[in-house]
Structure 1
């Protein structure tokens, strides 16, 4: 029988560059989730600094990334919970890397991912992982993969993780309603929320996987050039968005019976088709049949 896991998504409202305060708030949520028996806690993208790359102190704070990564590893071991601490921007020489980690309940780092598909305003500041492959990894909850924010727009990223056996895709995000052109907003002020609502459940169906999505939140009518989109959730086939939050800060905890992923695959046979000898696309569950191999 497949296990049931308790998963917490934390929708933080962080203060720009108030790293210590943001970290303390994140720790408080993690401790609360652990006390409620959670197996996994996921935080949003940029949860320590927010996104203010033009501020001279942004890079200074990013140079201290190891301090906070070590603190999350120690916390995971202390309270015995798996943690994806959103993303932590790391300064390496002249480069800034936007990185997500999966930290196991014994404090070990099991997965690391550097954001590949940078949103347009990020490109002058961050370095992409470019042609590095998306890699799935083993966790206490099963095979998982990490993506970050705008990666959601690229089904290819999911497919590569699925080829590696991932059944859980975890996506820390910093996505607001203002991430849209003025003309796009004129068509629909809630366009970005519609984007998220459309993509998250679609991705879990088309890959027979679970998508754990942790976005930022905040007071209604405030935010980075506009209102917060929020919508943090755990999306699974058949049931859709579990524990979906609105736009304000908060934490949602849901129980997921992993049997639902097995039944989705039994019903849709997506992975079976991808692993078949006659699979007709360039990606495959069979590494030895990839195009060019």
Structure 2
């Protein structure tokens, strides 16, 4: 399968402008022959949490527009966006849109980032999600989830050969990002595809987040197959997900575990 990571700067609460920019990157991925394109975290709205809560009720329209893009370009699309819940607060959700224009999988971010009080505005997910895609079993995570290896291990032992991670990792945590991505790939013997943001975002009260990009595709040995710079760009690679099972059969980490002791 061929995968593309669409690294972009996001304009705060400017949904239409973000969709237009995303549409250009999605079209570019389709022209390259990619099966799947991965957008960043909250790529339609940005991180203005009070503002996101206010527009969440209207955000279903954005989902429809993304679905139309998937159908128009005959491509799978994922990345995190706002999604409504039965609860009062919306969720930060990685939705998977099929080339038929359908939402076939939805993972709601389960680890909310307390450093910026995400839990005040968002509802956490309570379910681990993976999907049997045409290219292989695929697991979903979002940004801060990278710091919780238990989630990745659960996905891997249940068969995920590729784990997706749309993110909004800012400076000064670039080396954390690189190290965590490689660690998650090595310890779980799987591919990791993580799309980060570019640019910056003003959060008010003198706060600005600067994003370093570095969207990355990592193989099951921990080799970085592709890494973006800090600009808006698209990076793509051909992946053979059977490599994950070959490595797992060669180095039997999962069989050698002793979970009954820990």
TM-score by length of 2: 0.90
- Which structure's CA Rg is the greater one? 1
Please report the RMSD computed on the Cα atoms of aligned residues, expressed in angstroms. 2.2
Task: Determine if the alignment matches structure 1 residue 82 to structure 2 residue 82.
Answer: no
State the Cα deviation string for residues 90-145 of structure 1 (Å, max 9, x = none). Answer: 2446312111111222223221111100111112111112xx33132211111111
User: Which residue of 157, 168, 181 corresponds with 1:163?
Assistant: 157
What SS does the corresponding residue of 2:164 show, helix, strand or coil?
strand
Q: In structure 2, list runs of 5 or more residues that go unmatched.
A: none
What SS does the corresponding residue of 1:175 show, helix, strand or coil?
coil
Q: Distance in 1 between matches of 2:36 and 2:255?
A: 28
User: Which residue of 158, 168, 187 corresponds with 1:206?
Assistant: 187
State the Cα deviation string for residues 209-254 of structure 1 (Å, max 9, x = none). Answer: 11110110127x9996243221101111236122201222111111
Cα shift at 1:196: 0.7
Shift in CA distance, 222/268, structure 1 to aligned 2, threshold 3 Å: farther
Alignment-derived partner of residue 24 in structure 2? 28
User: Which residue of 159, 162, 177 corresponds with 1:196?
Assistant: 177
Shift in CA distance, 52/162, structure 1 to aligned 2, threshold 3 Å: same
Alignment-derived partner of residue 48 in structure 2? 52
User: Which residue of 222, 240, 258 corresponds with 1:257?
Assistant: 240
Residues 118 and 128 in structure 1, CA contact (< 8 A), matched pair in contact too: yes
Alignment-derived partner of residue 65 in structure 1? 59
Cα shift at 1:199: 0.8
List, as ranges, runs of 4+ consecutive aligned residues in structure 1 with deviation greater than 3 Å: 221-224
Alignment-derived partner of residue 280 in structure 1? 258
Task: Determine if the alignment matches structure 1 residue 12 to structure 2 residue 4.
Answer: no
Q: Distance in 1 between matches of 2:83 and 2:222?
A: 37
Q: In structure 1, list runs of 5 or more residues that go unmatched.
A: 178-189, 274-278, 284-290
- The count of aligned residue pairs is 256
Shift in CA distance, 12/166, structure 1 to aligned 2, threshold 3 Å: same
State the Cα deviation string for residues 33-62 of structure 1 (Å, max 9, x = none). Answer: 00110011000011011101234xx32322
Q: Distance in 1 between matches of 2:21 and 2:208?
A: 23
Shift in CA distance, 70/97, structure 1 to aligned 2, threshold 3 Å: same
Residues 213 and 230 in structure 2, CA contact (< 8 A), matched pair in contact too: yes
Q: Distance in 2 between matches of 1:78 and 1:258?
A: 26
Alignment-derived partner of residue 127 in structure 1? 123
Alignment-derived partner of residue 216 in structure 1? 197
What SS does the corresponding residue of 2:50 show, helix, strand or coil?
coil
